[in-house]
Amino acid sequence: MSPSRAPLVAGAAVAVAAAVTLTVVVWPEGSGPGAGNGASASSRTSASPSPTRSYPLSSAPRTIPAVREHTAARGPGWKPAKDSTVVAADPELADEAKLLAKELKIGYRGEKSARSGDVELALAASGKGDPESYTLKTADNRVTISGPGQAGVFYGTRTLKQSLNADDTVPEGVVRDTPDRPQRGLNLDIARKHYTADWIEDRLRQMADLKLNQLGLHFSDDQAFRIESDTHPEVVSEEHLTKAEVRRIVKLAQSLHITIVAEIDSPGHLGAVLKAHPDLQLRNTQGVARQGAVDISKAESAKIVDDLLTEYAELFPGNWFHVGADEYQALTVSDPAASYPQLAEAARKKYGADATVQDLTEGWLNDRAAVITKAKKIPKAWNDGFFAGGTVAGDKGIEVEYWTGKEIGARPPQDYLAEGRKVINLNDEFLYYVLGEPNDFTYPTGERIYEQWTPLVLRGTEPVAERYSKQILGARFAVWGDFPNAQTQAQVAEGIRMPLNALSQKVWDPREPKLTWAQFQKLADETS
């Protein structure tokens, strides 16, 4: 939804002479991650000494986001030695094991038995629990990382990598870790500002190390349409990503357990499409065109948008697709029916005598969502595309991406939650990085997110009631290109680095962080 619309590790650093290996291991039922998530690290210090009491009890590995639970133990911890390798007990984890071996500059031995000095990656035997949870055990000069799913095991490797970056050691003991929210990520407007495939891939790697799992790509707007199209090549802007580049990006994202959520916004923000199809532009009784708005009374308008939705739903294999639905200009006038009688007539014809232009607009959202549902994906839409009090209501299966309470039709977040809807947090007060800072927007800081924001803070600075927490599926930090030349790609990357670190901490564990902001900043430098 575009805004312009509107401590060190305790323990001696002992050199490990034995050979070290990375392995993927299968843990028995009940030994995997997820138990006792709420316990603090300081409350879990009664582990058996290993290998000797000459070592102090360990501290939790220092990572971003911080691990949720660490059981301390005595021992030197683990670090890679010259003969260290990574092994995968399960062939499904081969890619994760190979990546870790490459990052640590050590060997990969495949599906081999673990040796002293190994790091083992494994799928839990029961397969039960949050697939993004994991257990990381460091003892007897070996690390084992296990979890119910590949994603969790991958996140365990991120914890290992960050701990080595920060302190050159993975501390002794057991980490049990799991995210608080299932959707965690970055939203990127590549329509108004073109970003290279290489730049996007760098952001994916950064996100993966922070255990973020969703990249939203807003690639169509009034200014440009930025991905190659086979069904409608006439709408594509000169500067764009090819499908080959997109497939490369998608392949990298999948290897990093990140889902790309593509967005084609409609019935507003379609200026680039309308440039090639001016006959579909919404016009009032005086013939005045409305910027980016398609005439939803015309069957051809639905056909071209559905062609594009179907085409890109196949290109992007993730579980979601975003259909936009915000800021339709026909609803911003005092009397939509008088200004756009063709819309009012189409509404009555489709939904009955009492139907309005609002109902036709809401029906458009439901129809586009149905296309996405048919493609076996979950539709998402911006919150100001859901209206109250009409004949037609937005389908309950559409996830609400809440960004503002200021737009036409926008309501307080409690209204959507009270209706039982699932909501994702893109609060424009904390999570909107708008290039050029128009319309009173200022570049958000990581410090403010870290100290003041949680997933419950959906609008402004006040949280919604805790009883709604399970309906809030997560959050994304959004970059919008209103003034695309206000920052270079490099400046955007640097500007969003600490906000993404802060977001990652708060969506993994919304509780008040233990570190001060200054300590957190220092840790971000040390772990990356």
Kindly list the catalytic residues: 327
Q: Bridge-partner residues for 263, per DSSP? A: 218, 322
Task: Tell me whether residue 448 is exposed, middle or buried, using C-beta atoms within 10 angstroms of its C-beta: 0 to 12, 13 to 18, 19 or more.
Answer: middle
Phi, psi of 428 (to 5 degrees): -70, -10
Q: How far is CA 112 from CA 26, 108, 164, 182, 396, in A?
A: 12, 10, 24, 33, 48
Distance CA 273, CA 409 (A): 25
Using alpha carbons only, what angle is made at residue 20 by residues 168 and 174, rounded to the nearest 5 degrees? 65
Are the CB atoms for 426 and 400 separated by under 8 Å?
no
Residue 321, CA distances (Å) to 245, 258, 361 in order = 19, 14, 19
Q: What is the spatial distance between Cα 236 and Cα 249, in angstroms, rounded to a whole number?
A: 19
Whose structure tokens read 């691990």? 67
In what helix (H) or strand (E) does residue 523 lie, and over which residues does it extend?
helix 517-527
Contact criterion met (CB below 8 Å) for 300 and 224: no
8 Å CB contact between 384 and 410: yes
Q: How far apart are CA 190 and CA 437, in angstroms?
A: 17
Joined tokens for residue 93: 């984890």
Instruction: Please enumerate, as own/partner, the contacts of 34-38 that have beta carbons within 8 Å and a separation of 24 or more.
Output: 34/129, 34/130, 34/133, 34/176, 34/178, 35/176, 36/69, 36/176, 37/68, 37/69, 37/176, 37/178, 38/68, 38/69
